[in-house]
Amino acid sequence: QEQLVQSGAEVKKPGSSVKVSCKASGATFSRYPLNWVRQAPGQGLEWMGDIIPIVGTANYAQRFQGRVTITADGSTSTAYMELSGLRFEDTAVYYCAQKGGGHCNGGSCYSLDYWGQGTLVTVSS
Amino acid sequence: QSALTQPASVSGSPGQSITISCTGTNSDLGDYDFVCWYQQHPGKAPKLLIYGVNDRPSGVSNRISGSKSGNTASLTISGLQAEDEADYYCTSYTSSSTLVFGGGTKLTVL
């Protein structure tokens, strides 16, 4: 059974960067897109981007282009999301999420069975 | 990519059925059957309820079903129970090879 375990809460200054990790325990880490989703306090879910670890190429939501970098290390089954130029409005819980198994192609790979526990990033001066 | 459109809130009494709509465009919902629905309880990570428009993962109640017509997808929960009270989100794959979420719908069980 896949499990995604994220790094702990962070408090950052405006303008700085944060890097959140997501370690997978199952055997499917490298095969499916590993997604990053955030949720600001009291707000909805927002997709930030993803990476297929075995390929290594990341794909980002337009509004985060230039500010977010998603990477993956297949040797440790760990993905990373780095967000730079932090603003107060980046205060949110950041989740990693991934499909759990079975065949998929294109959009069918984006049914997110497994989610990390979430990492709270607080941007405060 | 704009968020998919969902009603902010819906409500129903125990035992009743409710439907939550999710409207997109020809660049996402209208062009792909890769629609998912998630349930989120306060302080918890989302849980996958529906994938591929109307398929349920193992363990998800058969009181939950999905459908799609044109640019609009729908989630129906029948036989409402108190534990169904939560936030619900739809997602769709897009023509830009990205994922887009709906704004979320708060379900209140009266």
Position B99 scores a pLDDT of: 96
Position B36 scores a pLDDT of: 96
Question: In the predicted model, is pLDDT for residue A100 greater than 90?
Answer: no
Q: B78 falls in which pLDDT band (50, 70, 90)?
A: very high
CB contact under 8 A, B91 and A35: no
Neighboring chain B residues of A112 at a CB cutoff of 8 Å: 36, 38, 46, 48, 91
CB contact under 8 A, A107 and B34: yes
Q: A88 falls in which pLDDT band (50, 70, 90)?
A: very high
Tell me the per-residue pLDDT of B10-53, one tens digit each, with 9 for 90 and over: 999 999 999 999 999 999 999 999 999 999 999 999 999 999 98
The verdict on B27 touching A (C-beta cutoff 8 Å) is no
Tell me the one-letter amino acid at B74.
Answer: S
Provide the total of helices (H) and of strands (E) in chain A, helices listed first.
Answer: 0, 11
Position A2 scores a pLDDT of: 82
Measured CA angle at B42 (ends B40, B46), to 5 deg: 25
- Rounded percentage of chain B residues whose pLDDT exceeds 70: 100
Q: Report the 10 Å Cβ neighbour count for A2.
A: 17
* Average pLDDT value over all residues in chain B: 96
Question: In the predicted model, is pLDDT for residue A23 greater than 90?
Answer: yes
**Which of A46, A110, A113 lies closest to B93 in CB terms?**
A110
**Which of B36, B97, B102 lies closest to A59 in CB terms?**
B97
Position A108 scores a pLDDT of: 85
The verdict on B99 touching A (C-beta cutoff 8 Å) is yes
Size of interface A-B (CB pairs under 8 A): 70
Tell me the per-residue pLDDT of A52-86, one tens digit each, with 9 for 90 and over: 999 999 999 999 999 999 999 999 999 999 999 99
Question: In the predicted model, is pLDDT for residue B60 greater than 90?
Answer: yes
The verdict on B103 touching A (C-beta cutoff 8 Å) is yes
The answer to whether the Cα torsion of A79, A82, A83, A86 is positive or negative is positive
B92: nearest CA in chain A? A107
Which tops the pLDDT comparison, B1 or A100? A100
Residue among B95, B97, B106, B76 at smallest CA distance from B24: B95
Position A1 scores a pLDDT of: 72
* Average pLDDT value over all residues in chain A: 94
- A97: three-class secondary structure by DSSP: strand
